[in-house]
Structure 1
Amino acid sequence: MQYVNLERIFNKFVQTNELPRAIIRLQKRHSDDFVQLSQGDINEDTPFVLASVTKLWITTILLQLIDQKKLDYDSIISNFLPKEKLENLHSYAGKDQTKYITIADLLFQTSGLPNVFYEEPILLKNRIKQEDFSYSFSDMLYWVKKTPAHFLPGSKEAYYADINYMLLGKIIESVTHQSLDACIEKTILRPLGMAHSFLTSSEFATIPPIYTGKDYLVRPKLISSAQGAGGGISTTADLMSFIQPFVEGQLFEDNHWQKMAHYLPLQGDYAPVEYGGGHMKLTMGQYEKEDRLSFYGHSGLSGAFAFYCPQLDVYLTGTTDNAGRSELCIQLIYLILFELEREEKLRKEA
């Protein structure tokens, strides 16, 4: 891959947005050639916090369990977790709707459960700014029960909330009879040779600090508490080793993509992101054009990302490493893909 202007675009973006460090790796499908651009103290093997990119690992294991017929999309979640713990988790119109939540509702973010990091009365984001703290799964359940749900499970709406993937992580542990970090290591990291990646299971793990745009926050307790919703650590190279087999159906039966590719727009704060089965989709360009570029995979609050653009047949992994402006990673991808598209057109016209 040789693209003349990519480095100039990347460097200008990093300078304009005052990013201490950033990295992006581009690789064509079925090719060993790649372009890697970086700024600051970071390279292809430098670990960074994945945040919600971790959800792709959870999606992978869940689909494997469906392939093994240990659960199904329509399985009720209370079949795998203690009913007394889940009671009144989903409160809507004065009634407990928890017994209707399915695996698919969690996977597609259609459960209607709230996002307690950004919603009253819990609003965890304010506490995160002030201190590092641990929270348990039971704590999260308690906070969610204090916050009203947004719609009935299975509605044709999507609402992004970390509790969905924390629940999926606990269901995976219940079905596999092993810890989530051990399960991820066994089924994803080791087979794919992702030697620099892991799911944090302890605050004493080597967890990189998070840049907020002003300073670096050390939050090992918080990140290790996130588990399957956002507790992953990885690198640009390792993410590339993962996202390719994920997209190409090498980690689970390929027919899952027929179901997973049903997308719904997320709540306003996440626009223009759409959510499918365990992954995000973004579309760029003029709305009325049918040939608009799209890319799917996942990004995280930390600035981490792993995506695939089918129209240009290219994978993108890396991080803009700024939790204060997590949208920057999407903006960078827009710029890079527009340039790739422009150069592809010039190449065809030559």
Structure 2
Amino acid sequence: MTTKRIQTIEKIFKKTTSSKQIHEGVLFVENTDGDFSYSKGYGGKDMDSPLLMASITKLFTTTCIIALLEKGQLSLEDRLSKYFDKALLSSIHVYGGKEYSFDLTLSDLLFQVSGLPDVFEEGKDSVKSRAIEEDYYTTFSEQVVMVKKLKPHFAPRTKRKAYYADINFDMLGEIIEKTTNTTLAEAYKKYIFEPLALESTYLPEHENDFIPNIYYKDKSIYRPKVIRSSRASGGCITTARELMIFMKAFFGGELFNKVIFEKLTASNKLQASMGPIYYGSGYMRIPLDGLITLFMGKGELMGHSGSTGSFAFFYPVKDIFMVGDLNQMGNAALPIRLSMKLAMMTK
């Protein structure tokens, strides 16, 4: 990449961090071979500063599911009733007067096509609104109870529909534990951290595990219990440096059979509140050739963002990986906008 292109990336990041909403951040951009590499910190953050992955954690959960699929230890067509007892599943999905709870499959969860509601964003006592005010811990069973109090959005596998809901991945996390007969943290360690020699990436389990503060607008809040409750849907901690290593491995076929992964091609557009995002087999897909870019882009971004400002995307058209964090819970669109601008302008 030329000096001019580096200057363009710097200009985009500087403009993003000049916003009053951003108090700290980090950006790391690199191509597959690493012969182009650019990083920039802001507000005291750098490539080795701990950052909350939030929903990027879903890529770790996806990795474990595909690795177990490759080993033949589970099938995406498995019904949830194989892994959860009847009492827990009963009434979790009742739509149009019909119960679908026992028809749900692993595939429905991975592709976000179960139709289940999202307790993080929905309801008068949503996880997000409550977390802004206080720190509290919820068990998986309690999360399921919360889901049952909300209405599903459509019948499972309704054509061209997807609905982003954390419970889909929280359930996949439980399934990973049941299949491997170990903790989710140990599964992440076996299938991700150890193969990639990640030393600063972990799933917090104990009170003394370090968890970074999160900004909500101008307020810095500390929510360790909320983060430890998020687990498979959003609980991991990493650094920009190690997140880059993971992203290259995830899309490069180092962690599981790439052929299996590439066969999982279906994707559906998420709910309107998620903007231009589609969801594939455990990851976000953001097309750059549509109205939102005035049809000026090509291809798509693949990866994930988090509700706290984290982002990790691969742009195959230009062989660019971009990871980092803007640490702002008050505007989940910020990392998406930044990633799209970087993809559109890095040539």
Change over 3 Å in CA distance of 1:32–1:189 after alignment to 2: farther
- In the alignment, is residue 192 of structure 1 matched against residue 184 of structure 2? no
CA drift at 1:331: 1.3
Residue 179 of structure 2: SS of its match in structure 1?
Answer: helix
1:280 aligns with 2:284: yes
Distance 2:16 2:140 in 1: 39
Aligned to 1:204: 208
**Residues 259 and 277, structure 1, Cα contact 8 Å, conserved in 2:** no
Match of residue 176, structure 2, among 172, 178, 201: 172
2:340 corresponds to 1:334? yes
Alpha-carbon distance in 2 for matches of 1:335, 1:194 = 29
* SS of residue matched to 2:340: helix
Check the 8 A contact 1:22/1:39 in 2, yes or no: yes
Q: Distance in 2 between matches of 1:121 and 1:325?
A: 19
Query: Is the Cα contact below 8 Å between 2:264 and 2:281 reproduced in 1?
Result: yes
Q: 1:263 aligns with which of 264, 267, 271?
A: 267
Q: CA deviation at 1:17?
A: 4.2
Structure 2: which 5+ runs fail to align? none
Paired with 2:35 and 2:77, the residues of 1 have a C-alpha distance of: 39
> 2:30–2:320: 8 Å Cα contact kept in structure 1?
yes
Correspondence 1:220-235 to 2 at 5 A? 220-235=224-239
Q: Distance in 2 between matches of 1:23 and 1:240?
A: 12
Q: Aligned partners of 2:7 and 2:224: how far apart in 1?
A: 40
Q: Does 1:305 align with 2:311?
A: yes
Deviations 1:151-210 (A, max 9, x none): 111222100000000000000000000000111012101211111110122343210010
- Structure 1 counterpart of 2:42: 39
Q: Which residue of 1 aligns with 2:253?
A: 249
Q: Which residue of 2 aligns with 1:348?
A: none
Counterparts in 2 of 1:291 and 1:216: CA distance versus 1, 3 Å: closer
- The answer as to whether partners of 1:19 and 1:321 remain within 8 angstroms in 2 is yes
Q: Counterpart of 2:212 in structure 1: which amino acid?
A: P
Cα displacement string for residues 92-129 of structure 1 (whole angstroms, at most 9, x for unaligned residues): 12332111100100000000110112222542322212
CA RMSD of aligned residues (A): 1.6
In 2, Cα distance between equivalents of 1:286 and 1:126: 32
Mind listing any 5+ residue stretches in structure 1 that lack a counterpart? 342-350
CA distances 1:31-65 after superposition (whole Å, capped 9, x unpaired) = 34411122111111111111100000000000011
Q: Which of 321, 325, 329 is 1:323 aligned to?
A: 329
In structure 2, give the amino acid aligned to 1:38: G
| TM-score w.r.t. length of structure 2 | 0.94
Runs of 4+ in structure 1 off by over 3 angstroms are 285-291
Q: Which amino acid aligns with 1:124?
A: V
1:86 maps to 89
* Equivalent residue pairs, number: 341
TM-score for the superposition, normalised by structure 1: 0.93
In terms of mean alpha carbon deviation, does 303-312 or 326-335 score higher? Answer: 326-335
